[in-house]
Amino acid sequence: MVEADKKRELIIEGAIKRFSHFGVNKTSMAEIAEDLSLSKPALYYYFPDKQNLILGVTGKIISEYLCDVEKNFEAYSNQEDALMNLIEIRRNFFQQYFMLHMEENYSDAYLRDNAFIQLMCTAKEKEVSILAGSLKKGIAKGELREIDTVRTAELLLDTLRGLRSCMRTEKMIFPDSSAFEDILNKQKEVARIFLYGIKNHSAHTAGIQ
C-alpha cells in the first residue's frame, strides 16, 4: 500500500471512531483532523468535503460487512446455522455503527446524497445475492424446496430490517444492549419460522422412512 493510501485509511479509521461515538452530524472535519494530528488542508487533500469522507467511511464498513457475510456462508453448510450466524453478524454491525444512521429512512442530509444511496443499494443487492446463493445450495442438496431464491432472500432481509425498525421509537433514541438482544431474538425466531416454510419436508419424510 502506497503512502497516500495508508494516510487515507488512517483518516477513514479516525472518522469511523468519531462518527460511531458522536454521530455524523455532531462531528466536524476539524475534530477529525485534530484527532489525527493533521492540518485541515492535509485532510481536505484526501477528502475535499465531509460528504466524500462519509462515502469513504461507508464504503469501508460495507466492504468489511459483506466480507464477513460471505465468510459466514462459506463456513456453515447447514442453512439454519448459517442464517442464525448471519443475524448475529447483522446485529453486531448495526449495534457498532448505530450512530452512523446508515439507513434509507433517516432524514439526515448526507443520507439523501445520490452517491450514498447508490452505495447502499449496491450493498443490499450484494447481500441478497450472497444469501440467494446459499439458498441455491440448500435446494441442490435437497434441504430446501424449489423457490425463487432471489425473491426469497429479499423478503427475508426486508423482514429482518422491519423488525429492527421497532427499535426506532421516541423512547429508544439510544438503545441499550438489552434492546439489541431483544431484536436479535425476535429476528432469529422469525428466521426459523421462515426457514421452516421453505424446507423440503417431503425429502425429510422420505429420509425417515
Q: Is pLDDT of 208 > 50?
A: no
**Nearest CA to 16 among 89, 88, 66, 65?**
65
Sort residue 23 into left (φ over 0), alpha (ψ -120 to 50) or beta: left
Report d(CA 144, CA 83) in Å as an integer: 13
**Nearest CA to 183 among 43, 88, 64?**
88
Q: How far apart are the first and last CA of the chain?
A: 59
**Complete domains list, the chain, with CATH:** 1-48 (1.10.10.60), 50-208 (1.10.357.10)
Mean pLDDT for the chain?
87
Would you state the pLDDT for residue 170?
A: 43
Q: Is pLDDT of 173 > 90?
A: no
- Residue of 128 and 176 predicted with greater confidence: 128
How many CA atoms, within 13 angstroms, populate the side-chain half-sphere of residue 198? 22
Helices within the chain (DSSP H only): 3-22, 29-35, 40-46, 50-75, 79-96, 114-140, 149-164, 177-198, 201-208
% of the chain with per-residue pLDDT over 70: 89
Per residue in 133-156, pLDDT tens?
Answer: 999 999 999 999 999 999 999 999
Q: Is pLDDT of 209 > 80?
A: no
Do the Cβ atoms of 104 and 120 come closer than 8 Å? yes
**From 13-17, 48-52, 66-70, 177-181, the region with the lowest mean pLDDT:** 177-181
3-state secondary structure of 199: strand
